Chains A and B, each alone.
Chain A
Amino acid sequence: MTAIEKTIDSTLESACQSKTLVCDGNEAAAWGVALSRPDVIAVYPITPQSSLVEYVSQFVAEGIIDAELMNVEGEHSVLSALQGAALAGARTYTATCGPGLAFMFEPYIRTPGLRLPIVASLVTRDTLTPQCVWGGHQDAMLVKEAGWIQMYCETVQEVLDTTVMAYRIGEHPDVMLPVNVNSDGNYLSYGVTGISLPAAPLVDAFLGEKNVNWHAALDPERPMAIDPLTGGAGGPGPKMFVNYRKGQTDAMQNALRVIEETHKDWGDRIGRHYSPLVEEYRLADADYAIVTIGSMTGAAKDAVDEARDRGEAVGLIKVKTFRPFPVAAINRALNKVKAIGVVDRSVNFGWNCGPLYQETIAAAQKLQRFMPSASFIGGLAGADITVEHFSEVIEDTAKLLKGHSYDEPVWINRND
């Protein structure tokens, strides 16, 4: 190690001692990036992600992050540059959302097939049009079938912690897939609170020796083609493509186990435990439950507590890992209740409901019993889903137990 590298190293360590920070979710994500010691970062700013990449750039300038920072001309180039870097064995990072993610789409759908463990924060934003620059899950939900792992954070602290965990999950030899760490635009991106910054050596021990993309590192001494044309129905046949695709879906299923192991080890080492796939809240003796995702969950838990005080037997199921969808974990939770109301921060145009609702009732189908359910759509374009809104959701969900059914989604915030 050269003298300069030593200086930079000690900068991260002096910046990242165990201490309390008061910061927003975008800064928390940047600290998570710093602690993960990436080699190459490429960025292009987009609201509400912009301050995140500004923090990352600041950390690079200050020597807290020892990485090559590429300010490129757009999101398509961001991810294309990172693909090259990851193929050369670099640990990589970017962040985007909304229209930026749309512009990134072509390299975005190639990344999982290339089996590159790139970590990209999605500071989720509702999609155009009508014009809006505010939070919502529509951008992330649009790319749910691209093959990236997607985890939704509930708190600012969880944004930091999940950013680090994402590297260990994505780079695991049984996974080798890109990971999105999703944080709600506005509510998490700009939400300020006190969080704990873990000490750098603890995180170094957690992540272990860096060994990114061991299977196909670009090496001038060992030239090889990456992503050659596979056979179709004729010629060499489609089996190479089919087996690659199956490898991807197998890796996604492996990720369920790795996500659980990784969260457990993070909890054991750092002291903060999260439900890695699905969280159950006051569910054990519940008759019915509301299902949530992301930062709305805090207000939902407060509403559940208030309803419990009124004698309502309601619980809450929160989905953290949305891709791969944790079918077994959610069914363990669903098995405890007789009806569910699912709250989405985005829409599924095809089924006239929320995407989380669609996924949840698809899983429930495997329970082999009818699960009365309702889809609630709220929080679009940064709209606030308050404790009062959740109280109404709980009330409307309770009606399912009395035989009421909903033919359409219930729209929260329609008159706000």
Chain B
Amino acid sequence: MHELRIHGRGGQGAVLASKILAKALVEEGKFVTAIPAFGFERRGAPVAAFMRFDEKEIRRINNIYTPNSVISIDPSVINAVNVFEGVQSGGTWIHTSKESKESLKIPDSISTLGLCDAVSIAMEVFRRPITNTIMLGAFAKTTGAVSLESLKKGLETANFRDAGLHQNMLAIERGYEETQVYQLQPPLGQSQNQGQEQQSAQEEH
């Protein structure tokens, strides 16, 4: 069972992205459950969505505490919440940023990094910083857990109208094509210190 957590900010479509991804995975014959983190939905506030997928039926309907993968669809949400909380060793992080991987603080638990300058792509495609579908393309490229083809099928049934559908198709394609995937050093065992550093960085905010 793969556990995925999507971080974003209210209004960016993190929950809609999880629904499109769910449709794509079901299209591929997977079992999927997805739930949003419950909170007061406010534009700009950090939000999260949880998703499990597997080859076999999933019974539990719970939040996710130890994800295999994390997507952050907003460049600054990493300053607001600890997106790495509970990430399993050997985890994958798909992040929106124009920064280089060297400038990002990445915990040992992350073994695979997908970097995509989704905000710049979004400004070209939508003229607004809406990154959710772009980052689905980035997820597909980074993990190979879902095909670009299935994502497009998922998008087709997600109630977008003509122009919006066309733009989002382009967004998914560009997210897929323009994501850089890095295999990081394999973890030398889960570092306790790293976790504590994250925690104290969190408290400073």
Nearest B residue to A23 by beta-carbon distance? B19
Find out whether the CB atom of A299 lies under 8 angstroms from the CB atom of B19.
no
Given contacts A20-B26, A298-B61, contact A193 B32 (CB under 8 A): yes
Given contacts A22-B23, A22-B26, A386-B65, contact A191 B34 (CB under 8 A): yes
User: Which B residues lie within 8 Å of A194 (CB)?
Assistant: 22, 26, 31-32
Find out whether the CB atom of B33 lies under 8 angstroms from the CB atom of A384.
no
Given contacts A186-B38, A192-B32, contact A384 B62 (CB under 8 A): yes
Query: Distance in Å from the Cβ of B5 to the closest Cβ of chain A?
Result: 14
Nearest B residue to A384 by beta-carbon distance? B63
Q: Kindly state the separation between the CA atoms of A387 and B3 in the bound complex, as whole angstroms.
A: 15
User: Which B residues lie within 8 Å of A135 (CB)?
Assistant: 38
Query: B109 at interface (Cβ–Cβ under 8 A)?
Result: no
Q: Kindly state the separation between the CA atoms of A384 and B65 in the bound complex, as whole angstroms.
A: 11
Q: Which of A20, A135, A192 has the most CB of B within 10 A?
A: A192
Query: A302 at interface (Cβ–Cβ under 8 A)?
Result: yes
Query: Distance in Å from the Cβ of A302 to the closest Cβ of chain B?
Result: 5
User: Which B residues lie within 8 Å of A301 (CB)?
Assistant: 59
Query: B42 at interface (Cβ–Cβ under 8 A)?
Result: no
User: Which B residues lie within 8 Å of A190 (CB)?
Assistant: 35-36, 38
Find out whether the CB atom of A187 lies under 8 angstroms from the CB atom of B35.
yes
User: Which B residues lie within 8 Å of A348 (CB)?
Assistant: none
Q: Kindly state the separation between the CA atoms of A301 and B18 in the bound complex, as whole angstroms.
A: 25
Q: Kindly state the separation between the CA atoms of A20 and B157 in the bound complex, as whole angstroms.
A: 12
Q: Kindly state the separation between the CA atoms of A336 and B62 in the bound complex, as whole angstroms.
A: 29
Given contacts A22-B22, A386-B62, A387-B62, contact A193 B38 (CB under 8 A): no
Query: Distance in Å from the Cβ of A14 to the closest Cβ of chain B?
Result: 15
User: Which A residues lie within 8 Å of B105 (CB)?
Assistant: none
Query: Distance in Å from the Cβ of B98 to the closest Cβ of chain A?
Result: 31
Query: A295 at interface (Cβ–Cβ under 8 A)?
Result: yes
Query: B161 at interface (Cβ–Cβ under 8 A)?
Result: no
Query: Distance in Å from the Cβ of B38 to the closest Cβ of chain A?
Result: 5
Query: A319 at interface (Cβ–Cβ under 8 A)?
Result: no
Given contacts A20-B26, A22-B23, A22-B26, contact A192 B62 (CB under 8 A): no
Find out whether the CB atom of A192 lies under 8 angstroms from the CB atom of B59.
no
Interface residues contributed by chain B, number (CB under 8 Å)? 22
Given contacts A22-B23, A193-B22, A194-B22, contact A188 B61 (CB under 8 A): yes
B1-41 vs A: 1/0 string, CB under 8 Å? 00000000000000000110011001000011111101010
Interface residues contributed by chain A, number (CB under 8 Å)? 25
Query: B60 at interface (Cβ–Cβ under 8 A)?
Result: yes
Query: Distance in Å from the Cβ of A129 to the closest Cβ of chain B?
Result: 17
Q: Kindly state the separation between the CA atoms of A36 and B32 in the bound complex, as whole angstroms.
A: 27
User: Which A residues lie within 8 Å of B40 (CB)?
Assistant: 133
Given contacts A186-B38, A187-B35, contact A299 B26 (CB under 8 A): no
Contact of A187 among B18, B61, B154 (CB under 8 A): B61
Find out whether the CB atom of B38 lies under 8 angstroms from the CB atom of A192.
no
Find out whether the CB atom of B32 lies under 8 angstroms from the CB atom of A382.
no
Q: Kindly state the separation between the CA atoms of A387 and B63 in the bound complex, as whole angstroms.
A: 11
Find out whether the CB atom of A192 lies under 8 angstroms from the CB atom of B61.
no
Query: A167 at interface (Cβ–Cβ under 8 A)?
Result: no
Q: Kindly state the separation between the CA atoms of A190 and B19 in the bound complex, as whole angstroms.
A: 10
Find out whether the CB atom of A299 lies under 8 angstroms from the CB atom of B36.
no
Query: A134 at interface (Cβ–Cβ under 8 A)?
Result: yes
Nearest B residue to A298 by beta-carbon distance? B59
A128-161 vs B: 1/0 string, CB under 8 Å? 0000011100000000000000000001000000
Find out whether the CB atom of B61 lies under 8 angstroms from the CB atom of A191.
yes
Find out whether the CB atom of A192 lies under 8 angstroms from the CB atom of B18.
yes
Given contacts A20-B26, A299-B59, A302-B59, contact A193 B33 (CB under 8 A): yes
Nearest A residue to B154 by beta-carbon distance? A22
Interface residues of B in 125-184 (CB under 8 A from A): 154, 157
Q: Kindly state the separation between the CA atoms of A299 and B62 in the bound complex, as whole angstroms.
A: 7
Interface residues of A in 163-193 (CB under 8 A from B): 186-188, 190-193
Query: Distance in Å from the Cβ of B56 to the closest Cβ of chain A?
Result: 12
Contact of A192 among B31, B33, B60, B157 (CB under 8 A): B33
Given contacts A186-B38, A192-B35, A193-B32, contact A299 B22 (CB under 8 A): no
Q: Kindly state the separation between the CA atoms of A239 and B40 in the bound complex, as whole angstroms.
A: 53
Query: Distance in Å from the Cβ of A159 to the closest Cβ of chain B?
Result: 12
Find out whether the CB atom of A193 lies under 8 angstroms from the CB atom of B62.
no
Q: Kindly state the separation between the CA atoms of A192 and B18 in the bound complex, as whole angstroms.
A: 9
User: Which B residues lie within 8 Å of A188 (CB)?
Assistant: 61
User: Which B residues lie within 8 Å of A385 (CB)?
Assistant: 62
Q: Which of B33, B40, B65 has the most CB of A within 10 A?
A: B33
User: Which B residues lie within 8 Å of A187 (CB)?
Assistant: 35, 61
Find out whether the CB atom of B38 lies under 8 angstroms from the CB atom of A134.
yes
Interface residues of A in 287-340 (CB under 8 A from B): 295, 297-299, 301-302
User: Which B residues lie within 8 Å of A134 (CB)?
Assistant: 38
Nearest A residue to B59 by beta-carbon distance? A298
User: Which B residues lie within 8 Å of A297 (CB)?
Assistant: 59
Find out whether the CB atom of A186 lies under 8 angstroms from the CB atom of B22.
no
Nearest A residue to B159 by beta-carbon distance? A58
User: Which A residues lie within 8 Å of B62 (CB)?
Assistant: 299, 384-387
Query: Distance in Å from the Cβ of A282 to the closest Cβ of chain B?
Result: 13
- Subset of 21 A-B contacts with CB under 8 Å: A20-B26, A22-B32, A22-B154, A155-B61, A186-B38, A190-B35, A192-B18, A192-B19, A192-B32, A192-B34, A193-B32, A193-B34, A193-B58, A194-B22, A194-B31, A298-B60, A299-B60, A302-B59, A302-B60, A386-B60, A387-B60
Q: A192-B19, A194-B22 provided; 6 other pairs, C-beta below 8 A?
A: A22-B157, A186-B35, A186-B38, A191-B34, A193-B22, A193-B34
